[in-house]
């Protein structure tokens, strides 16, 4: 069977890597792909938002299943286009993808169906938004309504910072039309965790738990990024908390989407804050997390192709099998990320890194230039490793990181320390 993976990042390399392991898959294509995906299959130069061109390619090549990595094509309606042509595809419809495409829609759905989340208000007028912030005070959270590549959320510690965020998002339009509206919500305190499930719209199966690290610097300092590292499992999500998330978050939102006439199929990702009052939802995403997918897929023992195909056919497999090991992913980023960064820096040492037991390096922002592998994005590589526990996984992954070099390389050195702290009962 032929599989097409849509996207070009580390998550998509991990998806292609896992799909290629299926005995049923004969060929993997990546659109547009990256040099890592090119080592597994064939890259096709079609951008992720060229939905008709992607569907044309899938028809022409006889693609048996398409798996979509990033949110933009899902929100733009790639699933609707493919299904209208009788093509099998893994992911939610355009209407269901609004759970990520519009933070205002997601918050209204949570309110309507009783999903625990922070109190909020939605504004389309910047002056009204500023007045509200002045009344409420800080800390307070300002979110661009639409897609902003994980960078449209500002946790403002002061009223001035919140007003500046409103100005940037709604007036200066730093995220374009994504900033036509903002959601302003109460600030939640606790520990963040990611909870992902695979669903066919009716039934769901949880994926292994994971914890992402959003801030660019150690100790969760600095601006938010698309994610600087992850590990799985996440000790913060106990079995008891998992049950709470399933009962109070996943079941009601899936039921709500069915009631609204837009059943959700694919990966539903709940970004959570574990507070003293229980679990609350920060946001929903409608696809695999990045870099959570890289950590989670390293532990998946089931055939990912069979799982995705079962969802596209509306009859979800009964269970998923997991390796008992702990998995970790460390993101290597370009100097200046998540702000302005340079490209074209020569990358060395990946082969040396992958000689370390269990280490796999996924490409994110890379390209081949004059026969050399160079940087081509903010997040450049995802170094992953398995270990019998978080201690061994951390030791291996950071040993591998030390083998890799490119000018201005930046990474967090504290990925996994939260898990260690929790396991030690600190």
User: Is residue 109 a part of any domain in this protein?
Assistant: no
User: Is residue 261 a part of any domain in this protein?
Assistant: yes
Which tokens is 102 given? 């519009």
Note the pLDDT of residue 149.
Answer: 73
Q: Which of 312, 334, 350 is the endpoint of a domain?
A: 312
Instruction: Please answer whether residues 83 and 65 qualify as being in contact, where contact means their C-beta atoms are separated by less than 8 angstroms.
Output: no
Note the pLDDT of residue 279.
Answer: 94
Integer Cα distance of 205 and 361 in angstroms: 27
Which tokens is 176 given? 């374009």
| Pairing between β-strand 89-90 and β-strand 65-68 as defined by DSSP bridges | parallel
User: Is residue 347 a part of any domain in this protein?
Assistant: yes
Query: Residue 267: which CATH number?
Result: 3.30.470.20
User: Is residue 119 a part of any domain in this protein?
Assistant: no
Give me Rg for the CA atoms of the chain.
21
Q: Is 74 helix (H, G, I), strand (E, B) or coil?
A: helix
Q: How many CA atoms lie within 13 A of 168 on its CB side?
A: 16
Beta strands in 233-354 (DSSP E): 266-275, 278-285, 326-333
Residue 234 and residue 147 share a domain: no
Integer Cα distance of 282 and 123 in angstroms: 18
Note the pLDDT of residue 425.
Answer: 74
Please state the domain count of the chain.
4
Residue 79 and residue 12 share a domain: yes
Note the pLDDT of residue 320.
Answer: 97
Single out the residue of 162, 37, 327 nearest to residue 28, CA to CA: 37
Residue 290 and residue 213 share a domain: yes
Cβ contacts of 130 within 8 Å, gap of 6 or more: 163, 166
Which 8-state DSSP code applies to residue 170? Answer: I
Which tokens is 93 given? 């419809």
Task: Please give the chain's pLDDT, 426 residues, in tens.
Answer: 999 999 999 999 999 999 999 999 999 999 999 999 999 999 999 999 999 999 999 999 999 999 999 999 999 999 999 999 999 999 999 999 999 999 999 999 999 999 999 999 999 999 999 999 999 999 999 999 999 877 788 899 999 999 999 999 999 999 999 999 999 999 999 988 889 999 999 999 999 999 999 899 999 999 888 899 999 999 888 899 999 999 999 999 999 999 999 999 999 999 999 999 889 999 999 999 999 999 999 999 999 999 999 999 999 999 999 999 999 999 999 999 999 999 999 999 999 999 999 999 999 999 999 999 999 999 999 999 999 999 999 999 999 999 999 999 999 999 999 999 888 876
Task: Write the pLDDT tens digit of every residue in 255-300.
Answer: 999 999 999 999 999 999 999 988 999 999 999 999 999 999 999 9
Residue 164 and residue 140 share a domain: yes
User: Is residue 22 a part of any domain in this protein?
Assistant: yes
Q: How far is CA 120 from CA 103, 142, 187, 282, in A?
A: 11, 10, 10, 11
User: Is residue 321 a part of any domain in this protein?
Assistant: no
User: Is residue 106 a part of any domain in this protein?
Assistant: no
Integer Cα distance of 4 and 68 in angstroms: 8
Note the pLDDT of residue 426.
Answer: 65
Task: Write the pLDDT tens digit of every residue in 367-376.
Answer: 999 999 999 9
* Three-state helix/strand/coil letters over 135-153: HHCCCEEEEECCCCCCCCE
Integer Cα distance of 57 and 59 in angstroms: 5
Residue 202 and residue 138 share a domain: no
Residue 343 and residue 284 share a domain: no
Task: Write the pLDDT tens digit of every residue in 37-76.
Answer: 999 999 999 999 999 999 999 999 999 999 999 999 999 9
Which tokens is 45 given? 């130069």
Residue 200 and residue 134 share a domain: no
Query: Residue 173: which CATH number?
Result: 3.30.1490.20
User: Is residue 285 a part of any domain in this protein?
Assistant: yes
Q: Which of 312, 338, 366 is the endpoint of a domain?
A: 312
Which tokens is 71 given? 């949110």
Measured at the alpha carbon of residue 307, what is the angle toward residues 147 and 264, in degrees to the nearest 5? Answer: 40
Residue 253 and residue 214 share a domain: yes
Residue 288 and residue 340 share a domain: no
Residue 164 and residue 144 share a domain: yes
Note the pLDDT of residue 165.
Answer: 94
Integer Cα distance of 416 and 382 in angstroms: 15
Measured at the alpha carbon of residue 303, what is the angle toward residues 100 and 249, in degrees to the nearest 5? Answer: 35
Domain that holds residue 357: 326-423
């Amino acid at each position: 069977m032929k599989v097409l993976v849509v996207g070009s990042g580390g998550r998509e390399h991990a998806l292609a890597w896992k799909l290629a392991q299926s005995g049923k898959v004969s060929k993997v294509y990546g659109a547009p792909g990256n040099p890592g995906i090119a080592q597994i299959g064939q890259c096709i130069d079609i951008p992720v938002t060229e939905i008709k061109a992607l569907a044309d390619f899938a028809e022409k090549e006889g693609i048996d299943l398409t798996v979509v990595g990033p949110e933009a094509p899902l929100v733009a309606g790639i699933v609707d286009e493919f299904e209208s042509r009788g093509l099998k595809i893994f992911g939610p419809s355009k209407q269901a993808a609004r759970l990520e495409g519009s933070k205002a829609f997601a918050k209204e759905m949570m309110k309507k169906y009783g999903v625990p989340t922070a109190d909020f208000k939605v504004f389309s007028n910047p002056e009204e938004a500023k007045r509200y912030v002045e009344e409420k005070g800080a800390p307070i959270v300002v979110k661009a309504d639409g897609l902003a590549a994980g960078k449209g959320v500002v946790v403002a510690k002061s009223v001035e910072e919140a007003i500046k965020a409103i100005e940037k998002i709604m007036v200066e339009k730093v995220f374009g039309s994504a900033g036509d509206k903002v959601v302003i919500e109460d600030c939640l305190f606790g520990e963040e965790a990611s909870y992902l499930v695979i669903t066919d719209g009716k039934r769901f199966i949880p994926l292994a738990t994971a914890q992402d690290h959003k801030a660019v610097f150690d100790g969760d300092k600095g601006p938010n990024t698309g994610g600087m590292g992850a590990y799985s499992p996440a000790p913060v999500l106990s079995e008891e908390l998992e049950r709470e998330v399933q009962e109070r978050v996943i079941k009601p939102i899936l039921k709500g989407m069915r009631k609204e006439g837009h059943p959700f199929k694919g990966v539903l990702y709940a970004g959570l804050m574990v507070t003293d009052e229980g679990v609350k939802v920060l946001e929903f995403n409608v696809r695999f997390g990045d870099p959570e997918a890289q950590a989670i897929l390293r532990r998946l023992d089931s055939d990912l192709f069979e799982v995705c195909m079962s969802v596209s056919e509306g009859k979800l497999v009964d269970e998923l099998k997991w390796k008992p090991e702990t998995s970790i992913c460390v993101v290597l980023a370009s100097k200046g990320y998540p702000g302005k960064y340079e490209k074209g820096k020569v990358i060395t040492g990946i082969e040396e890194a992958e000689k370390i037991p269990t280490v796999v390096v996924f490409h994110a922002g890379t390209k081949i230039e004059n026969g050399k592998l160079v940087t081509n994005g903010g997040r450049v590589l995802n170094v992953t490793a398995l270990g019998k526990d978080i201690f061994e996984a951390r030791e291996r992954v950071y040993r591998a990181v030390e083998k890799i070099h490119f000018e201005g390389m930046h990474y967090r050195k504290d990925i996994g320390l939260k898990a260690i702290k929790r396991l030690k009962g600190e």
